[in-house]
Amino acid sequence: MSNYLKDYIPKIILASASPARKQLLINAGIQVIVSPTDSDEDILTPISPGETVQMLSCRKMDNYLFSNDVKQTSILTCDTLVYFENIPYGKPNSRIQAFQMLKTYSGNHHFVYTGYCLIYKNKKFFGFDKATVYFKNLTDKQINDYLDTKEYENAAGSYRIQGRAAAFIDHIDGDIATVIGIPMKLLLKTVEIN
């Protein structure tokens, strides 16, 4: 078996506008075609965090397949949510909300769940991964300086670990790619056995 995702999926349609997700795939040596899909991300029924991101990823895939006629192609959709004390933190609606999120992480840990839905060999595969992120103690100035960069905008949980927020991290238990937005190790396992 190969240790490289590109050996199984040399080319993929990424149904997401996330530059971070695109970069993860490019870094893995995969040719990426970006073709975003719009999807309702409302959670109507309370379910576990893992089931939530998995369901949202599959909903995105269903919407993509409904709107696009694609065959013999690998397609990937993902969804990421941050959970702090069992409360889901999605993308912030404002700078104030982003500040509050980052303030709650300070000196604490939280969980990042990323779900995926993959069309591979004309079959649908889905699942999720979880990582635990431990933040250093942050001052209000550090948070505000970060918010000034606007990097928090459109980011699940109000930060991008692959960007300036890397300085806030004490350590991570799990796959950093899961925190960035694609559970790469889990995807590799999925394609290796199918």
Look up residue 51 and give its two tokens: 């089931």
Say whether pLDDT at 47 is over 70. yes
The residue ranges of every structural domain in the chain are 5-192
* pLDDT surpasses 70 at 169: yes
Catalytic residue ranges: 79
For the stretch 56-89, pLDDT in tens is 999 999 999 998 888 789 999 999 999 999 898 9
99: closest CA among 170, 183, 157?
Answer: 157
**Residue 3: predicted pLDDT:** 80
Could you tell me the two tokens for 100? 């509050």
Structure-token match 């991964």, residue found: 129
Tokens of 71: 């065959």
If DSSP codes are grouped into helix, strand and coil, which group holds residue 127?
A: strand
Structure confidence by residue, pLDDT tens digits, 99-142: 999 999 999 999 999 999 999 999 999 999 999 999 999 999 99
Please check the confidence at residue 32 and state whether its pLDDT lies above 70.
yes
- Average pLDDT on 15-43 reads 90
pLDDT at 35: 95
Q: Please give the Cα distance from 150 to 62 (Å, whole number).
A: 32
So what's the pLDDT on residue 1?
Answer: 58
CATH assignment, 5-192: 3.90.950.10
From the DSSP assignment, how many helices (H) and strands (E) are in the chain?
Answer: 6, 7
User: Where residue 46 falls among pLDDT bands split at 50, 70, 90?
Assistant: low
Q: How large is the average pLDDT for residues 13-39?
A: 94
Question: What pLDDT was estimated at residue 39?
Answer: 74
| pLDDT value at 42 more than 80 | no
The whole-angstrom separation of Cα 158 and Cα 144 is 12
Give the pTM.
0.93
